[in-house]
Amino acid sequence: MGELVETTVGVVGRAHGLRGEVAVEVRTDEVARRYFAGADLRTTDGRAMTVASVRQVSGRLIVRFQQVLDRSGAEALRGAELVAQVPADELPSGEEEYFDRQLVGLRVLDASGIEAGLVTQIVHGPAQDLLVINVGGKERLVPFVQALVPVVDLSAGYLQVAEVGGLLADDSEDD
C-alpha cells in the first residue's frame, strides 16, 4: 500500500442523547466508506476514535464512538475535526471535486495571471466552501464556485480567481 495521508471527513457537532452519541457534520461524499462500525478515525489533536455505531436521524449523521461513554464525553468532543487515513493518490469521486489537502498551498493568480496570494485553508460553509487566501498578509475569503474560481490546475500548482472588485484587493487599493 502507498503513502497514507489524513483527510477531513467530518466535524463533531452537539451531543445526541445520554449514551455518548454525537451529531457529525459530514465532510465527505463517501459516508458509508468512512462511517461504519469499526471504522478508525482520529481527531486533529491526535485522539483515536473508533466508530461503534452510526445512523441517520432527520437527515443528520449520528455517531457513537467506542471511546465516548456518556453525554459529558460527547459534549467534550464538540468541534473536533475528524480525519481518516486515505491513500495519497486517491482522488475525489467527482469531476471538479478536490480534497482540502489538494487546494491548501496552491498559488492564487488573478484574472490576468499575476500571482496574488496563497490558499491557506478551506472553510466549509453552509452554502459553499470558502477558500482562505493570504494576500499580502491579509486573509481574503473567496467562495469556491466555478464562476469565481474558473481554473484549478493541480499539476501546475495554482488556481485562478475571476476579476471581481474587492475579491482579492480592496477597491480603494486599485488606484
Domain count, the chain: 2
What's the confidence (pLDDT) of residue 64?
A: 97
What's the confidence (pLDDT) of residue 93?
A: 62
Residue 25: give the domain boundaries.
Answer: 4-87
Q: Is residue 95 part of a domain?
A: no
The winner for highest mean pLDDT among 74-78, 95-99, 166-170 is: 74-78
Across 34-61, average pLDDT? 94
Q: Do 111 and 62 belong to one domain?
A: no
DSSP symbols for the chain: ---EEEEEEEEEEEEETTTTEEEEEE--S-HHHHSSTT-EEEETTS-EEEEEEEEEETTEEEEEETT--SHHHHHHHTTPEEEEEEETT---SSTT---HHHHTT-EEE-TTS-EEEEEEEEEE-SSSEEEEEEETTEEEEEE--TTT--EEETTTTEEE----TTSSS-GGG--
Q: Do 73 and 106 belong to one domain?
A: no
- Give the rounded percent of residues in the chain with a pLDDT score beyond 90: 58
For 92-144, the pLDDT digits (tens) are 666 677 888 889 999 999 989 999 999 999 887 777 888 999 999 999 999 99
For 78-94, the pLDDT digits (tens) are 999 999 988 877 766 66
Question: Among the three residues 87, 118, 152, which one is the final residue of a domain in this structure?
Answer: 87
